[in-house]
Amino acid sequence: MRSERRAGEVSRGSRAPTGCRPAASRKKDLALIEELPKLVEPETGGDPEGKRKFVRISLRSLSRQLGRACHVTVGRLLKGLKFSLKTNVKRLTGPPHPDRNRQFRFIKKLRNLFVRAGAAVISVDTKNSVLIGNFKSRGARYCQRADEVLAHDFPSDAECRAVLYGIYDVSHNRGHVCVGTSSDTGEFAVTSIRNWWVQQGQADFPNQRRLLVLCDSGGSNGCRPRLWKRELQRFADESGVTITIAHYPRGASKWNPIEHRLFSQISANWAGHPLRSLGIMLGFIRDTTTQTGLTVTASLDRQTYQCRIKVSQREINQLRLRRQRTCPQWNYTISPRPTNAIPGSN
Q: What is the pLDDT of residues 290-346, one digit of tens each?
A: 999 999 999 999 999 999 999 999 999 999 999 999 999 999 999 999 987 777 766
Confirm whether 3 is domain-assigned. no
Q: How far apart are CA 42 and CA 64, in angstroms?
A: 16
Confirm whether 86 is domain-assigned. no
Could you list the pLDDT tens digit for every one of the 346 residues in the chain? 444 444 444 445 444 444 444 545 555 567 676 777 666 655 555 554 555 555 556 778 777 777 777 888 877 877 777 776 667 777 776 787 899 999 999 999 999 999 999 999 999 999 999 999 999 999 998 988 999 999 999 999 999 999 999 999 999 999 999 999 999 999 999 999 999 999 999 999 998 999 999 999 999 999 999 999 999 999 999 999 999 999 999 888 889 999 999 999 999 999 999 999 999 999 999 999 999 999 999 999 999 999 999 999 999 999 999 999 999 999 999 999 998 777 776 6
CATH number, position 217: 3.30.420
Do residues 344 and 245 touch, judged by C-beta distance below 8 A?
A: no
Same domain flag for 185 and 322: yes
Same domain flag for 201 and 259: yes
β-strand pairing of 321-323 with 210-215: unpaired
Same domain flag for 223 and 112: yes
Confirm whether 50 is domain-assigned. yes
Stated length of the chain: 346
Same domain flag for 74 and 104: no
Same domain flag for 55 and 106: no
What confidence score (pLDDT) does residue 73 get? 81
At 340, the amino acid letter reads N
- The domain tally of the chain equals 2
What confidence score (pLDDT) does residue 19 get? 45
Same domain flag for 111 and 251: yes
The domain in which residue 51 lies consists of 23-80
Quick one: DSSP state of residue 320? Answer: -
Confirm whether 154 is domain-assigned. yes
Confirm whether 152 is domain-assigned. yes
Same domain flag for 60 and 117: no
Do residues 164 and 184 touch, judged by C-beta distance below 8 A?
A: no
**What angle, rounded to 10 degrees, do the helices at 59-66 and 23-40 form?**
110
What confidence score (pLDDT) does residue 224 get? 95
Same domain flag for 155 and 288: yes
Same domain flag for 29 and 160: no
pTM over 0.85: no
